[in-house]
């Protein structure tokens, strides 16, 4: 009798961990598998690539596509800085998938560049502010660059004088100008910029209010895009070419 066999092919297991679902203070995260989950393993790494601890979570065929919330990891020392999280997941068929997260980011302290009204040209008298910020950026590179990718994110903001659309465009051009300055000054890693305009105000004001504290920029060093927040209300970063 001829024999007949059926073969079932499974697509690679998909594991997703949303950056916004990572809570560094509580040491928990949320993960989603596209198939029923059997196990999640989380390994935390600190400064210098030191492994801080590994935690395994046995799951009872958690349904695929349903977020698995509150997955804790053991960092051994809760005060230790987390540089990387490695998340490995196994489905009920025994297939594995993994992702690496770099959940840290640094907002570089700096004095803001003051632009001429309506313009995005950096005046020579403010280059010293950027040079000082560059020193802070180099220090972060030296500390983390060996164990994590280093990216620079430049965000621009305005006050509420003028239309929202005009301010968003102006803040983007200014952020791009600052990003280009850092590239020209020797920062060779990926650089991204974004204009937030009137969104993410440092000082909440009504419309058409001239508030100097809202005409500012953010310089952020991170391995992955910083999470969306009240002060960084969008993830639409553009790569500097």
State the alpha helices, DSSP H only, in the chain: 127-144, 164-184
How many helices, marked H, and strands, marked E, lie in the chain?
A: 2, 12
Per residue in 146-158, pLDDT (tens digit) is: 878 899 999 999 9
In this predicted structure, the answer to whether residue 3 has a pLDDT above a threshold of 80 is: no
Tell me the C-alpha distance between 13 and 95, whole Å: 7
The whole-angstrom separation of Cα 234 and Cα 26 is: 24
- pTM value is 0.82
Torsion of CA 9, 11, 13, 16, to 10 degrees: -160
Q: What gap in Å lies between CA 130 and CA 123, rounded to an integer? A: 11
pLDDT at 77: 73
- CA–CA distance from 189 to each of 105, 166, 173, 183, 222 (Å)? 15, 30, 20, 8, 11
What's residue 72's pLDDT?
93
39-77: pLDDT as tens digits:
999 999 988 888 999 999 999 899 999 999 999 998 667
Average pLDDT, the chain: 91
93 token code pair? 């068929």
Query: Between residues 78 and 139, which one has the greater pLDDT?
Result: 139
Two structure tokens written together for 210: 């001239």
Q: What is the pLDDT of residues 201-237, one digit of tens each?
A: 999 999 999 998 899 999 999 999 998 889 899 999 9
Q: By mean pLDDT, which of 25-29, 36-40, 234-238 is the weakest? A: 25-29
Number of C-beta neighbours around residue 53 at 10 A: 16
Q: How confident is the model at residue 20 (pLDDT cuts 50, 70, 90)?
A: confident
Q: What is the pLDDT of residues 132-142, one digit of tens each?
A: 999 999 999 98
Distance CA 167, CA 159 (A): 8
Which tokens is 75 given? 């960092």
Q: For position 109, what pLDDT does the model report?
A: 95
Q: In what order do the strands lie in the sheet with 15-17?
A: 15-17, 28-33, 68-72
Predicted pLDDT at 129: 97
Specify the pLDDT at position 79: 77
């Amino acid at each position: 009798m001829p024999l007949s066999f059926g073969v079932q092919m499974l697509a690679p297991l998909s594991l997703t961990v949303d950056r916004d679902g990572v809570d560094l203070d509580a040491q928990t995260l949320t993960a989603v598998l596209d198939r029923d989950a059997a196990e999640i393993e989380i390994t935390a790494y600190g400064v210098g690539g030191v492994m801080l601890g590994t935690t395994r979570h046995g799951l009872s065929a958690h349904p695929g596509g349903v977020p698995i919330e509150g997955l804790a990891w053991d960092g051994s020392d809760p005060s230790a800085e987390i540089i990387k999280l490695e998340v490995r997941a196994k489905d009920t068929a025994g297939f594995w998938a993994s992702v690496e997260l770099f959940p840290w980011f640094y907002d570089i302290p700096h004095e803001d560049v003051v632009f001429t009204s309506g313009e995005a040209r950096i005046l020579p008298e403010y280059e010293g502010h950027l040079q000082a910020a560059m020193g802070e950026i180099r220090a972060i590179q030296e500390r983390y660059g060996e164990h994590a990718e280093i990216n620079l994110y430049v965000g621009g903001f305005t006050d509420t004088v003028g239309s929202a659309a005009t301010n968003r465009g102006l803040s983007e051009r200014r952020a791009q100008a600052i990003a280009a300055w850092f590239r020209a000054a020797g920062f060779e890693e990926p650089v991204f910029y974004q204009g937030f305009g009137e969104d993410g105000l440092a000082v909440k004001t009504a419309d058409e209010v001239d508030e100097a504290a809202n005409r500012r920029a953010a310089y952020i060093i991170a391995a992955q895009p910083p999470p969306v927040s009240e002060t960084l209300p969008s993830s639409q970063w553009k790569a500097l070419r």
